Structure 1
Amino acid sequence: MTSVLPRFLRAATAGCVALLAASCSPSQRGTYGPSPADVGPRTSLAPASWSAQSPAGEIATWMREGCRRPEGSRAACVERALTGLIDPAGIAKSMEVLDTLVATDEEVRRNAHALAHGLGISAYRSPETAAATFAGCTPSQMSGCYHGVIQGYFLAQVAQGQEIGTPQIDALCEPHRASMFLFFQCAHGMGHGVMALHENHVPMALEACDLATDDFIRGSCYGGVFMENIVNVTHPHHTAEGHAGTQGQHAAAGADPHAGHQAQAADAHAGHQAGSADAHAGHGAAQQAGMNHGEWKALDRNDFQYPCNAVAEKYRTSCYTMQTSAVLYFTQGNLGAAARACGEAPLEHRHTCFSSLGRDITAYAAQNHQRSLEFCGLARGLAEGMGEVWCVAGVAVNFVNLAADPGEGIRFCGLVRDERGKTECYRSVGQTIASLENTTSGRAAHCERAEPAFVITCRRGAGIQPAGTDD
C-alpha cells in the first residue's frame, strides 16, 4: 500500500446515460429504493411541475418552497424530497439539485455530506446495478453519494441474510479499478458498509476490511470505518431516511444500525454504556494478538486518543486521519484543544493528527484561505514546532480535495510565509496531485503553477524527478 492514500481524488465525469437509465428507471426499481409516490404526501410539496429534463434550479425552487413549512422536520422534508427524485430523474440529477440547494440554504449546506450519503444509500437497487448506480454519483459534497451506494449494498445484504466474504469484497470495487478516483471512493465506502454489517463494532469492521486481498482496498476501507464510527456518534441520524428507503419492509429486522439510538450517550453506542468502564481493557495485548470482540465503545470524551489507542497498530494511521473530528465534537469546536490533543498523540502519528486538524479547520474557516492559515497558528510551538507546519499541509490537501482542483491548494500555499511551512505545503499538494493525475506530464503541468522557487518541491511530492520526464 502506498504511503499516501488518495482521499478525494478528482472530479469524476458524469456517468453514462445508458447506465443511469439502467439503474434509475422505474423498470429497475427494487425492494430497496424509495417510491416517488411517498414524496408528496409526506412533505406537503405541491404537485411536481418539473420533468427529469428540467434544470436543477427549477426543481430546487419547488423543493425549497414545499419544505418551507413542512409537516414535521424541515430537514426530513428535504431529504425525502431529494430521495424521491432518484427514480424519475436519476441520481446525478438528484445530486445536482442538492448542490443547488447547498449554494442557497445554510441548513442544507451544514448537512450536505450526510444528505449525499443518504441519497447514495437510497439509490442502491441490487448487486447487478450497483456499479452503474455508483458511477452515476458525483464527487460533490465530499463524495458522500459514492459512500452511500456502497453502504446500501451492505445494508441490503444484511437485511437479506447474505454472507459477505473475500469473494464479495474483492468483486465489489473491481468494476471501478480503471479510475483511481472511483476505485478509492468504492473502497472507502466499503468501510462505511462493513460498519453497518457489524453494527458499528470497529474492531470487527476493521477485520472485515482485512478480508480484501488488495492492500489498497484494505487501507481505504479502514478510513471509511473510522469515519463512520465518528459520524455515527456525532450525527446518529445522518442517513435515517436513506436507511429507511434502502431497507424497505426489512427495517424492523434490525438491519438499521442507527435505529433506536435516540437515547444514546454522546460517547457510547446504545446499550454499550455498561461496558464503558472496561472499554480499554485488554487492548494492550490486543495490538499483537487481535482485538476485542466484546463490548465496544465508539468514542471517549475523556480520552482524546481513543479509539486510536485501542486498535492494532496497523490501523492507527487511518484512525488519526479522522481523530480531530471527534475531539472537536466533544470540545464544541475548540481548535486549540484539538491541536493540543494532536501534540499528545504518539510521535509516529502526530503528523497525521495535525493534518486531520488542517482538514477540519477548512470547515471552521468556511473554506477561507487566510482564516484557515490563521487557525493553524493555534498549533504553533506544538510537536517541536512542526504542529503548525503539518496543519498547514492538511489545509492545503483538503482545499485540493474539496474542489478537485490542485490550483486551490497551490493558491493556499502561496499565502504561507514560513519557509518550512511553505515547503511542506507544496510537497503535500504535489502528493495529492499524484493521486489526481496519472501522467507525468499532467502532474508537471499542475506543479508549474506553484511559486517558481517551489516548483521542484511540488514535483518531488508528485513523484517527478527534478529534471522531469515525459510519458
Structure 2
Amino acid sequence: MKITDFIPIRQALVVFFMLILIGMLLFLLSPVLIPRVSNVTAEQYIIPAIENCYAAANQNACYIQAAVTLAKRFQPSVVLQIVARNEKQPHIFQVCHEVLHFFGRAIFNRTKNVSRALIDGDATCFAGYYHGVLEGYFLENGLLGTIDDAFFAKKISSLCEQNDTTRTKKDVHECLHGLGHAFMFATDADLPRSLSLCDIFPRDDATWCYSGVFMENSTSATNKDHPSKYFKKDDPGYPCSILDEKYLSMCYTLQTQYVVNQNGGDWEQTFAFCQKIPRAYRKDCAMAIGGSISQYDPDPHSIKESCEKGPDSSDQKSCVDGVVGALGEHYNNPFDHVVTFCSILDVHKAACYQQMNNLMGNWSRDMHILQAGCDMISEAAYRTSCLQTLE
C-alpha cells in the first residue's frame, strides 16, 4: 500500500521537503545543541577531580582515573592553566604533580607525538606533565629491561633541546629531569645504569637528568609495589655513599627530600641530617630543604620561619636560595611568588634577590616578562639590580 493512497502528492512533497529542512537545521545547529565545556565548567570539573585524590583510599588509582578522564575531555593547555590558577589550594598543591604526571602519560598515549606533547605543556606543579609524557614515550617504544645505548644516543639525546623560541631553559631542565624518571622506569629502577644513561648529555644537562633518577629512587623507596633496590632504611646516606663523586651533589639533594618525606617536614631534624653528610655537600642539603619547604607550605611567612630553623646563617641562606630555585621551577610564571618571598626577609633579603637575578633567565625568554618581574620589586636598589641583570 502506497502513502500516496492516503496523502495527496502535493502534501507528500511538502512533508518531504520539511523533513529535509529540519534535518539541515539540526545539522547546522548541532554545535549549539551539543553541550560544550566552557572555561567555567572546565574549572568546576577539573579541580574537584584532582581534589578527590587528596582523600582517596587508593590515591594511585585515583590519579590514573582522573588523568585519563581529563585527557579525554580537555586539551593540555586548558588543564594546565586551570591547575596553575588553583595550585595554591592545599588539596591541589599536594597532589597536582602526581595527577599531571599521569595526565602527561595519557596525552602522549593519545597523540603518540612526544615533541608535540612537550610543546603543548608547561612546568606547572613541578612539571608533572612533562615527566608523564616522557614516561609514556618510553612505554610506547618498549624501552623496558635492556636498553640499546645506540638508540639513546640517536633518539633520546635530542628530545630536550632548546630548539625553538618558546622553550625556556626551565622547560629543558624539566624535560631532562623527566628523562631521568623515564630511565629508571625503563631500566626497572637500576639506579647506576640510569645515571650512566644520563651521561650521554653534557655535564650541566646530565645533572638535571640525575635529579630525575634520584627523585624516582626516593619515591620508589616508599612504594610497596615497586620498592627501590638502592635504599637502606637505617642509612639515609645510601646510595650516595657508593656512587662516583660527579653524582653526589644531586644525590644528597634528593636524599634530603626523602628524609623530609620520612619525618613529615620536621625541618630541625632535616637540618640535623645535613650536618651528618660530607661537608662538601651540606650546602646542597640546605638548599634542598628550602625546596622541600616551599612544597609543603606555599605561605611565604611559613617558608621564612622554616628556613630560619637552620643552625647557622650559612644554612639559612642556602635554604633561601633553595626556596627561590624551587619557586622558579614550580610556577609557570614565578616572579610574583619569588618577589613576595624575598620582600619579607630580613637578613637574607639581598641574597634572595640575587638568586632571583641568577635564575630568572631560566624562567622566561621574553624580555617583557623579565622586565615586568623586576618591576614587581618595590625596593629601588634591588629593582635596579634586577633590571641591570637584563642588560
- Could you say which TM-score interval applies, normalised by the shorter chain? 0.7 to 0.9
Paired residue for 2:358? 431
Alpha-carbon spacing, 1:380–1:459, altered in 2? closer, same or farther (3 Å): farther
Q: Could you tell me which of 156, 167, 185 is aligned with 1:196? A: 185
CA distance in 1, matches of 2:171, 2:371: 23
Give the residue type in structure 1 aligned to 2:216.
Answer: E
Number of residues paired by the alignment?
350
Paired residue for 2:114? 130
Paired residue for 2:213? 225
Give the residue type in structure 2 aligned to 1:379.
Answer: G
Give the residue type in structure 2 aligned to 1:308.
Answer: C
Alpha-carbon spacing, 1:233–1:51, altered in 2? closer, same or farther (3 Å): farther
User: Does the CA-based 8 Å contact 1:358-1:394 persist in structure 2?
Assistant: yes
User: Does the CA-based 8 Å contact 2:181-2:212 persist in structure 1?
Assistant: yes
User: Does the CA-based 8 Å contact 1:437-1:443 persist in structure 2?
Assistant: yes
Shift of 1:329: 2.2
CA distance in 2, matches of 1:432, 1:102: 22
Alignment of 1:129-278 (within 5 A): 129-158=113-142, 163=148, 164-174=151-161, 176=163, 178=165, 179-180=167-168, 181-212=170-201, 214-234=202-222, 236=223, 261-262=224-225, 269=228
CA distance in 1, matches of 2:264, 2:359: 30
CA distance in 2, matches of 1:102, 1:455: 28
Shift of 1:162: 7.5
CA distance in 1, matches of 2:371, 2:50: 44
Shift of 1:89: 2.9
2:333 matches 1:402: no
Alpha-carbon spacing, 1:75–1:165, altered in 2? closer, same or farther (3 Å): closer
Alpha-carbon spacing, 1:438–1:300, altered in 2? closer, same or farther (3 Å): same
User: Does the CA-based 8 Å contact 2:130-2:175 persist in structure 1?
Assistant: yes
* Structure 1: unaligned runs, 5 residues or longer: 1-48, 237-260, 270-295
Q: Could you tell me which of 360, 363, 371 is aligned with 2:302? A: 371
3-state DSSP of counterpart to 1:306: coil
After superposing the two structures, state which structure 1 stretch, 387-396 or 341-350, moved more.
341-350
Paired residue for 2:98? 114
CA distance in 2, matches of 1:118, 1:396: 27
CA distance in 1, matches of 2:195, 2:54: 42
After superposing the two structures, state which structure 1 stretch, 201-210 or 224-233, moved more.
224-233
Alpha-carbon spacing, 1:68–1:221, altered in 2? closer, same or farther (3 Å): closer
User: Does the CA-based 8 Å contact 1:102-1:112 persist in structure 2?
Assistant: yes
Give the residue type in structure 1 aligned to 2:334.
Answer: D
CA distance in 2, matches of 1:439, 1:369: 26
Q: Could you tell me which of 314, 317, 320 is aligned with 2:246? A: 314
Aligned CA-pair RMSD: 3.5
User: Does the CA-based 8 Å contact 2:123-2:329 persist in structure 1?
Assistant: no
User: Does the CA-based 8 Å contact 1:112-1:141 persist in structure 2?
Assistant: yes
Paired residue for 1:331? 263
Paired residue for 1:82? 67
Q: Sequence identity of aligned pairs in percent?
A: 23
Shift of 1:306: 2.5
Alpha-carbon spacing, 1:169–1:367, altered in 2? closer, same or farther (3 Å): same
Per-residue Cα deviation, 1:272-291 (whole angstroms, up to 9, x for no partner): xxxxxxxxxxxxxxxxxxxx
User: Does the CA-based 8 Å contact 1:188-1:223 persist in structure 2?
Assistant: yes
Q: Could you tell me which of 395, 414, 439 is aligned with 2:343? A: 414
Per-residue Cα deviation, 1:89-133 (whole angstroms, up to 9, x for no partner): 333334456568867682x54221111111111221389611112
Shift of 1:424: 1.8
- TM-score when normalising by structure 2: 0.77
Which structure has more relative contact order (CA 8 Å, sep 6+)? It is 1
CA distance in 2, matches of 1:69, 1:398: 26
2:54 matches 1:59: no
Q: Could you tell me which of 391, 415, 419 is aligned with 2:319? A: 391
